[in-house]
Amino acid sequence: MYRTHNCGELRLGHAGEQVTLAGWTAAKRDFGQLTFIDLRDRYGITQLVFDMDTQPELCEQARKIGREWVLQIDGVVRERSNKNPDRPTGDIEIDVRSLRVLNASKVPPFTIEEDTDGGDEIRMKYRYLDIRRAPVKEKIIFRSKVAIETRKHLADEGFIEIETPYLIKSTPEGARDFVVPSRMNAGEFYALPQSPQTFKQILMVAGMDKYFQIVKCFRDEDLRADRQPEFTQIDCEMAFVEQEDILNTFERLTKHLYKSVLGIELPDFPRISYDEAMQKYGSDKPDLRFDMAFTELDSLVKGKGFPVFDNVELVVGINTRGQASQFSNKDIKKLTSWLQRPQIGAKGLVHVKWNEDGTIKSSVGKFYTDEQLKTWLEAMDARPGDMLLILAGEKDATRKQLSELRLEMAGRMELIDPTVIKPLWVVDFPLLEWDEESQRFHAMHHPFTSPTKADMDKMNSTDRAVLSSIKADAYDLVINGAEIGGGSIRIHDRELQMKNFHLLGFTPEEAESQFGFLMGAFEYGAPPHGGIAFGLDRLCAIMQGEKSIRDYIAFPKNNQGRDVMIDAPSSIDEEQLKELHLQLDLPEQ
Amino acid sequence: MYRTHNCGELRLGHAGEQVTLAGWTAAKRDFGQLTFIDLRDRYGITQLVFDMDTQPELCEQARKIGREWVLQIDGVVRERSNKNPDRPTGDIEIDVRSLRVLNASKVPPFTIEEDTDGGDEIRMKYRYLDIRRAPVKEKIIFRSKVAIETRKHLADEGFIEIETPYLIKSTPEGARDFVVPSRMNAGEFYALPQSPQTFKQILMVAGMDKYFQIVKCFRDEDLRADRQPEFTQIDCEMAFVEQEDILNTFERLTKHLYKSVLGIELPDFPRISYDEAMQKYGSDKPDLRFDMAFTELDSLVKGKGFPVFDNVELVVGINTRGQASQFSNKDIKKLTSWLQRPQIGAKGLVHVKWNEDGTIKSSVGKFYTDEQLKTWLEAMDARPGDMLLILAGEKDATRKQLSELRLEMAGRMELIDPTVIKPLWVVDFPLLEWDEESQRFHAMHHPFTSPTKADMDKMNSTDRAVLSSIKADAYDLVINGAEIGGGSIRIHDRELQMKNFHLLGFTPEEAESQFGFLMGAFEYGAPPHGGIAFGLDRLCAIMQGEKSIRDYIAFPKNNQGRDVMIDAPSSIDEEQLKELHLQLDLPEQ
């Protein structure tokens, strides 16, 4: 028995008890007569006291101990004279009677405190030290709680967790697969799953009815910040359901997670259509913690002699409340430059200020009378002191630009309260997305997504506009402007699936060789079914109001896909390559 | 809403209620006036009735339905006239009022019943149909229950589930790795983990203290029956613990699983040393559902003029209770041939029969008097009617052979009660195993296992006999003769780890390049730690008294490592290979 208690649990009520503790030396303070050590473990920090007067040898021993040494001590709990109210154990300390060094430590390369002096690269290399820091440790524990509560809740709702295989088949559709050469099947490869999509659909055909799995998925993509080659999904599928059943089920799950892990009761989630989201917020994952919805001004601004507005597809703006006095002409110029950067790509910015003194100032004041501008202000529910920001251009691009501006302004205006939680369902996505470059349709969600019942007939059209207008029976859960997950009702009919593959540019042979097993399964009594997947890493980050997912992952990879702690990937030897029937084909140096 | 109830829940109390059900057509019976359909889903089977008199059109429609068609019906629950006591829903039937075919089905290639006419290969190809069969479905659901109860119990005990990475580093030690070529790091490879061993130890250094994970592991081995290239472990590690803490923790888990999933209370698990297990049962995973322990006879049989016994290392036997009259000379000859097969490799078999009439018959009667044979019988606690079976030879080999014979005889004597559960801990394994072929030591458990405290000093020896006698702080959980899992207290000191690598034939450079990150971590305050891993598939099979693990896996691979349903592995295209900096190097046809 290495310890009777952990370093986070002793309280005043334990005073007088003989205890044994073990942990790491977080800090040491030597005073004339006394030496203090803060002993840390996963559960907290407890102060140890060594007294030179009463135990000189022990105190000498303690003074030789360095940071992060692993200690085991016996001692007696006693009340502290100057208590530390910031620490749950701050009312007590341990009068140490014996001390054993379980392991020494080199001086750690960065400080192991709430805030560290270690840079990203060194923290990743010594990840085992970084995880000792409370902020990282707490995130990993938080993730574990979210996972267990997810499992408990779904099991209570009758879901079965079923493991699907990791060694599957490569399919060129979608992102790039990681592949695994097969030694026993020369020249052949497994692929690591990008998601268990086809297997979970097969499980519905198999009658399993309510499936879930918390599962690793793999994508060999060029890594952007905050993308990992392996990531974790809460993956679900249900049979004999319609969209409404799935939304309700996973709204219950989300509410359960907020309640059980954070103690927060969420109200019912609003549902808005993709079209409405795009029209009002220019985004299919709108942040609803603040309003600033778009107002389309075309009917008010066109035909009044301002050619820029007359010749565009869309004129649309937001009302920034109380900002008229906050933005000088120079500030507006800066904001315009910010919008004109290639990342956003706006052509320009029109503003209308309604000053507190009642005057109206606008960058298009030459083209419109005050009376006309007032109609805009009215349309956007403005009051004296407000400022309208207006963009114009091609519809989709302009909405995206204004969406960026909306988020930027909300940040500057401090409208984003991190304690507010605004979930919503976005529904009725388009089924197909025309890609100019490849001159073909792509699946907006994935090729197994069903059109809505209302749009089923349009699947037979050959008109690109008609096909583009088909709505998918698909949905996303969005919280505070981040997509937590999405899903769809699936196609469960072989003919319809073949038709969809055809629209997506698959030849019948390609469809058969890649997904023949699924379409084969559809011929043996496939039930209506649908599902959803949440990104676990993302969900955890959003629940805690964090921007980065990385510290929710115990051992993340860097932007080159490397694990710098273990130094992977690495070379393998010739013999291993030979067994796998492979040769390296390296680029010229 | 596709259904108001499932097909397993309606009872007499529901009589008169209007319900909607959905499911698969398990069977159809047409009589003159009535047509019956058994509608199946995950939860059970409910009988539907169509009446030609009252609803002729509906009944005609029903008569066209084939096996495995997916139906949705509305109807009224009513009491059955001839009840089916074998089915929970057997008291009721549904008087159908409307019927919708949700999907048709081809005729399935095998019957979807408890016992099927489908062979292994076809059941694997149409796994989605096989899973509709109750025995397969129930095993998958059982596994899900074991997994969730494992998680609940360990979480309640303060364990944190932490995901370790799947894309790690290849190490030549142990079984063969599956590797994953890196596109972004030309010529380099990730490996899929054979277990999260080094990561869970790193987590202990990181202070996480109680880690678990239900995790996929991968081994590229030639597949024997009942081995899968990917398999699932309940993987655990604890810091600040000794062996006793770990055994108690995982004995509690095992008891919890039997209690919560099967309703069975297990008594405390006995603990026996590896040496005792080998001496008494010739196996480190003895089946204790029956006794038939070994008795060593050397002191009684040697020096009596029988050269075969005089010149061997060990003479050891078992007493087969009441078998004297069951085995003719011909039967014993057959048993001897069975033992002499190369799989077992015994030289011969000596028997002593104590017949019911008091006479003693033995194959070595020429060499020993009845008085001498009686001393053997006494030593083995024999009674009239019993038969001794005795083997002789080199110690380890003879024990193994007698272990096989013990199991075989228990089977023939019907001593193995499938309802009996006999768990035990086997402890104090040897640390090192001498391998004649490679002329070096191998790790009996793995290279991170600590010697016992008592044997720590022997690590400095260069004497092979002394090194062979070192005991490891390692343990296995055995239930009914199957190894459920094992673990050890780990080395947490860099010097000792290096010494162990040296004994295992690693050069310092090899040790550093493969495990430098772990030994580096040991220098920054590694706590004493240890762990264990259970095979989830195996545990499920043993808990249900099944021999094969395969049906606990939703989508298993065949003996060639192929998934015959999806047809994986498969070839990938040239472009993909090129991106991975690889060329095929196929064997000559």
Residue A279 scores a pLDDT above 70 = yes
- Yes or no, beta carbons of B525 and A578 under 8 Å apart: no
Q: Which CATH number is A133-269+420-553 given? A: 3.30.930.10
Rounded distance, CA A565 to CA A557, Å? 9
Q: CB-based contacts of B369: which residues, under 8 Å, 6+ apart?
A: none
- Check CB contact under 8 Å for B168 and A40: no
Phi, psi (deg, nearest 5) at residue A198: -70, -35
Cis peptide before A556 (omega within 30 of 0): no
pLDDT at A1: 85
pLDDT interval class at A587 (50, 70, 90):
confident
Amino acid at the residue A561:
G
Q: Hey, is B329 helix, strand or coil?
A: helix
Range from A348-352, A490-494, B444-448 carrying the lowest mean pLDDT = B444-448
**Sequence spans of domains, chain B:** 12-103, 133-269+420-553, 290-412
- Nearest CB among B3, B166, B528 relative to A2 is that of B528
Of B1, B209, B562, the CB nearest to A41: B209
The whole-number pLDDT of residue B350 equals: 97
Instruction: Name the region of B306 (left: φ>0; alpha: ψ -120 to 50; beta: rest).
Output: beta
Contact A220, A177 (CB under 8 A): yes
Closest CA to B125 of B562, B571, B539: B562
CATH class of B290-412: alpha beta
Q: How many CB pairs under 8 A join A and B?
A: 353
Nearest CB to B167: which of A126, A183, A568? A568
The closest alpha carbon to B121, from B552, B557, B541, belongs to B557
What is the spatial distance between Cα A201 and Cα A211, in angstroms, rounded to a whole number? Answer: 10
What's the pLDDT score for residue A561?
92
Amino acid at A510: E
Tokens 């980065």 map to which residue?
Answer: A548
Write the pLDDT tens digit of every residue in A188-218.
999 999 999 999 999 999 999 999 999 999 9
Chain A environment of B166 (Cβ under 8 Å): 166, 192, 216, 218, 230
CATH class of the B12-103 domain in this structure: mainly beta
Contact A474, A419 (CB under 8 A): no
**Range A237-260 average pLDDT:** 98
- Tell me: ipTM over 0.90: yes
Nearest to B128 among A205, A571, A577 (CB): A205
Cβ-based neighbours of B484, under 8 Å, separated by 6 or more = B254, B423, B476, B477, B478, B534, B535, B538, B539, B542
Cβ neighbours of residue A417 closer than 8 Å, sequence gap 6 or more: A289
Q: Which two tokens stand for residue B584?
A: 């095929």
Whole-angstrom distance, CA of residue A449 vs CA of residue A532? 11
Query: Splitting chain B (589 residues) into consecutive groups of 10 residues, what average pLDDT does each group show?
Result: 96 98 97 95 97 94 97 98 96 97 97 90 96 97 98 98 96 84 94 96 98 97 82 98 98 98 97 98 97 97 94 97 95 97 95 96 95 97 97 97 98 94 98 91 93 96 95 98 97 96 93 93 98 97 93 94 94 91 85
**pLDDT for B589:** 63
| Confidence band, pLDDT 50/70/90 cuts, at residue A588 | confident
Question: Which chain B residues are closer than 8 Å to A127 by Cβ?
Answer: 202, 206
| Closest-CA residue of chain A to B102 | A527
Tokens 């140096």 found at = A589
Which residues on B lie below 8 Å from A525 (Cβ)?
Answer: 24-25, 68-70, 103-105
Measured between beta carbons, the chain A residues lying within 8 angstroms of B22 are: 240, 527
Search chain A and give the residue with CA nearest B517.
A566
- The length of chain A, given as a count of residues: 589
A385-405: b (≥16 Cβ within 10 Å) or e? bbbbbbbbbeeebbbbbbbbb
Give Cα B386 to chain centroid, integer Å. Answer: 34
pLDDT for res A175: 83
Rounded to the nearest angstrom, the minimum Cα separation between B43 and chain A is: 9
pLDDT over 80 at A478, yes or no: yes
Q: What is the pLDDT of residues A501-528, one digit of tens each?
A: 999 999 999 999 889 999 999 999 999 9
* Whether residue A422 has pLDDT greater than 70: yes
Instruction: Specify the amino acid at residue B512.
Output: E
Q: Do A492 and B526 touch (CB under 8 A)?
A: no
pLDDT for the residue numbered A163: 98
Under 8 Å between Cβ of B426 and B478: yes
Residues in B closer than 8 angstroms to A192, CB to CB, are: 166, 180
Residue A471 DSSP one-character state: B
Mean pLDDT across chain A: 95
Looking at residue A130, what is its pLDDT?
A: 97
A371: how many CB neighbours lie within 10 A of its CB?
8
The whole-number average pLDDT for the span A159-169 is 97
Which residue of B24, B103, B181 is in closest CB contact with A492?
B103
Residue A544's pLDDT band (boundaries 50, 70, 90)? Answer: very high
Contact A41 B207 (CB under 8 A): yes
Condensed to tens digits (0 to 9), the pLDDT of residues B384-432 reads 999 999 999 999 999 999 999 999 999 999 999 989 999 999 999 999 9
Residue listed under structure tokens 């997506």:
A504
Q: In three state form, how does the secondary structure of B219-272 look?
A: CCCCCCCCCCCEEEEEEEEEECCCHHHHHHHHHHHHHHHHHHHHCCCCCCCCEE
- CB contact at 8 A, B509 and B516: no
Tell whether the model's pLDDT for residue A173 goes beyond 70: no
What is the reported pLDDT for A438? 86
Q: Do B127 and A206 touch (CB under 8 A)?
A: yes
- As a whole number of angstroms, the distance between CA A198 and CA A448 comes to 9
**Is the predicted pLDDT of residue A168 greater than 80, yes or no?**
yes
The per-residue pLDDT for A589 is 62
Look at residues B20, B2, B108, B74 and name the one whose alpha carbon lies nearest to residue A529: B2
> Mutate which of B160, B192, B247 to disrupt the A interface (most A C-beta within 10 Å)?
B160
Residues A298/A314, Cβ–Cβ less than 8 Å: yes
Q: Which residues in chain B are contacts of A523 at CB distance < 8 A?
A: 105-106
Closest CA to A218 of A187, A159, A174: A174
Cβ contact, residue pair A160, B166, below 8 Å: no
Residue A173 Cα distances to A232, A446, B208, angstroms: 20, 9, 40
Element (H, E) at A2: none
According to the model, what pLDDT value does residue B65 have? Answer: 97
| CA closest to B184 among chain A residues | A560
Task: For residue B378, count other CB atoms closer than 10 A to its CB.
Answer: 10
Which residues are registered as beta bridge partners of A235?
Answer: A213, A533
